[in-house]
């Protein structure tokens, strides 16, 4: 906490007696430096002093304890790993934040994917949020916005976290009005992470008048133009790590300490050169080389030497190529279909495909290719793009010959001329769209394991569905029942909301793997 910073009123209260004051002292003892109260202002309670009934004082102390617990949860850092070069980044940002200014300030952080924009925004948020009347970190705005009801969820999160209220308004413009009314007088800290479209800013942080005096709105984006067109003038361009910090980050990953092993010091410097100061690449390559022998180090460097223009995706790909076959499959399934789902759920689905998901996912975590956040599996956008690119390269011209499809256009093309290679199809459109799909193409897809179709208007369903299906989610399925020949033996999850289904199937079916909470 900064010297002389404004502390909450809690510091003035007296805490000489009663159980809560003990609790308070315990909280402070266990969390040195994290509490937004001045510890010196608190007297240690006299152990011998008997707890008297102090009526109002007891009540108010109870409130203070609750307040501090709430603040404490705010101040617990959400990033706990070894960060490097963060102070120099924060120094520039702090100048833009300009604590003294009473206006509402919009601040942008821009730079390419993997440069550390989200990380620095998160650290800044953790450090300064206690200074505001309300705060909210809206993560992955681009991704959530593209999902069904995504805007609604983002607006709800904004309102509920800052004003502790759940909006009742149904349409987005009413919710914008509500946000304005509730936040107009509040000093707010809002982070909008990974914005890629002006519309997202209009819907979440439209005008300067939306927030109270002294508010700070921080927007991270890969696209500087989006920030410019929203009138954001204070823009921090996330810089690459300098050589010294880059080597430290790489060493944490490759050697689990802050400098390279002596015999690999020169090679480490070479590898760091290829990562070009990009934190994501340093993490991924460092993790890839962890515990590998000299020969593997040299061969990785040879490969990097051969990459034209040092395209970062190709550098990252070296890590993918070093995976075992099943780990590759798991990586691609996550990139093209499962990203964002709960870890247990992914494990169950992938295990049912025979992929030994526990071991495989652990290997991907160790190699920094995926991470677990709030029990969900997350993958950096650049790595997801790499996964999609790997699949695209399986057959650049003919989507029907690829293993996984995850864009509407590719599915349309693949259905014209599909082969039996397709293992997963993921189509989740933000708005309903009529599709002239040739449904007979499904009869060739004998390997299809994962299928999600959302917001696609079809006149009829398929006559065949693969018996390999583990996951079937088909919103507004157009037919009255599932194909008669479909056996469902392997099915683990089934979601058919808003479908035209009258009877799922005739007779009895034995579906041993289907989990209980599946909805129809
Ligand atoms: N200063 C840093 N020190 C250590 N690791 C970092 C740092 N900045 C970013 N990273 C790591 O690099 C990866 C990409 O960072 P991220 O903030 O997601 O980038 P961006 O938001 O720009 O795409 C993350 O795994 C993050 O932990
Ligand atoms: Mg990011």
> Which atom of ligand 1 is closest in space to residue 278's alpha carbon?
12
Question: What is the CA(263)–ligand 1 centre distance, in A?
Answer: 28
* Ligand nearest the Cα atom of residue 117: 1
Question: What is the CA(382)–ligand 2 centre distance, in A?
Answer: 9
pLDDT of residue 429: 87
367 lines ligand 1 (CB under 6 A): no
391 lines ligand 1 (CB under 6 A): no
pLDDT of residue 16: 38
For 325-385, give the CATH class: mainly alpha
Q: Is the pLDDT of residue 419 over 70?
A: yes
**Residue 135: strand pairing partners:** 189
CA dihedral of 289, 290, 294, 295, whole degrees rounded to 10? -50
Q: Distances in Å between the alpha carbon of 19 and those of 12, 72, 316?
A: 18, 19, 55
Handedness of CA 292, 297, 298, 302 (dihedral sign): positive
Assign 61 to helix, strand or coil.
Answer: helix
Ranges of each domain in the chain: 9-75, 86-237, 243-321, 325-385, 399-495
**Residue 450: strand pairing partners:** 424, 471
Q: Is the pLDDT of residue 36 over 60?
A: no
Q: Alpha-carbon distance 285 to 347, whole Å?
A: 25
Least confident stretch, 27-41, 240-254, 406-420: 27-41
Question: What is the CA(500)–ligand 2 centre distance, in A?
Answer: 40
pLDDT of residue 367: 92
Q: Helix 325-333 crosses helix 381-394 at what angle (to 10 degrees)?
A: 110
The protein residue with its alpha carbon nearest to ligand 1, atom 25, reads: 280
pLDDT of residue 37: 46
pLDDT in tens, 354-388: 999 999 999 999 999 999 988 999 999 999 999 99
> Which atom of ligand 1 is closest in space to residue 238's alpha carbon?
22
Q: Which CATH architecture has domain 86-237?
A: 3-Layer(aba) Sandwich (3.40)
């Amino acid at each position: 906490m900064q010297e002389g910073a404004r502390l909450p009123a809690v510091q003035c209260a007296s805490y000489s007696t009663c159980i809560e004051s003990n609790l308070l002292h315990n909280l402070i003892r266990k969390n040195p430096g994290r509490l937004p109260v001045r510890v010196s202002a608190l007297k240690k309670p006299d152990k011998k002093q008997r707890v008297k009934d102090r009526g109002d004082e007891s009540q108010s102390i109870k409130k203070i304890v609750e307040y501090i617990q709430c603040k404490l949860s705010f101040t617990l850092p959400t990033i706990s790993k070894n960060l490097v070069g963060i102070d120099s980044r924060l120094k520039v940002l702090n100048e833009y934040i300009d604590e003294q200014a009473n206006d509402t300030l919009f601040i942008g952080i821009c730079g390419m994917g993997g440069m550390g924009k989200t990380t620095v925004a998160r650290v800044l948020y953790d450090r300064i949020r206690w200074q505001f009347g309300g705060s909210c970190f809206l993560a992955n705005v681009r991704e959530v916005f593209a999902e069904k009801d995504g805007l609604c969820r983002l607006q709800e999160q904004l309102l509920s976290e800052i004003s502790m209220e759940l909006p009742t308004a149904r349409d987005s413009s009413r919710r914008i009005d509500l946000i304005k009314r509730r936040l107009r007088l509040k000093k707010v800290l809002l982070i909008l992470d990974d914005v890629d479209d002006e519309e997202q800013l209009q819907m979440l942080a439209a005008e300067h008048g939306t927030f109270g005096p002294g508010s700070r709105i921080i927007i991270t984006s890969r696209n500087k133009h989006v920030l410019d067109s929203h009138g954001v003038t204070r823009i921090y361009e996330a810089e690459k790590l300098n050589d010294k910090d880059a080597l430290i980050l790489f060493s944490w990953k490759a050697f689990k300490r802050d400098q390279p092993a002596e015999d690999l010091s020169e090679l480490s410097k070479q590898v760091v050169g290829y990562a070009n100061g990009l934190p994501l690449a340093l993490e991924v390559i460092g993790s890839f080389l962890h515990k590998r022998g000299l020969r593997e180090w040299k061969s990785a460097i040879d490969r990097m030497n051969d990459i034209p223009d040092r395209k970062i995706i190709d550098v990252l790909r070296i890590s993918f190529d070093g995976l075992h076959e099943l780990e590759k499959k798991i990586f691609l399934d996550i990139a093209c279909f499962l990203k964002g789902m709960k870890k247990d759920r992914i494990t169950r689905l992938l295990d049912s495909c025979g992929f030994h998901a526990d071991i495989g996912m652990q290997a991907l975590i160790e190699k920094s290719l995926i991470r677990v956040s709030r029990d969900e599996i997350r993958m950096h956008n650049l790595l997801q793009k790499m996964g999609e690119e790997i699949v695209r390269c399986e057959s650049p011209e003919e989507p029907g010959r690829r293993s996984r499809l995850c864009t509407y256009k590719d599915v349309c093309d693949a259905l014209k001329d599909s082969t039996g290679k397709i293992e997963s199809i993921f189509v989740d459109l933000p708005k309903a769209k009529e599709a002239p799909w040739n449904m007979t193409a499904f009869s060739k897809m004998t390997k299809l394991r994962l299928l999600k179709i959302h917001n696609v208007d079809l006149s009829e369903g398929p006559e065949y569905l693969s018996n390999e299906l583990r996951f079937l989610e088909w919103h507004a399925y157009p037919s009255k029942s599932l194909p008669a020949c479909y056996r469902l033996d392997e099915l683990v999850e089934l979601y058919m909301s808003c479908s035209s289904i009258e009877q799922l199937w005739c007779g009895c079916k034995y579906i041993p793997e289907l989990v209980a909470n599946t909805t129809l």
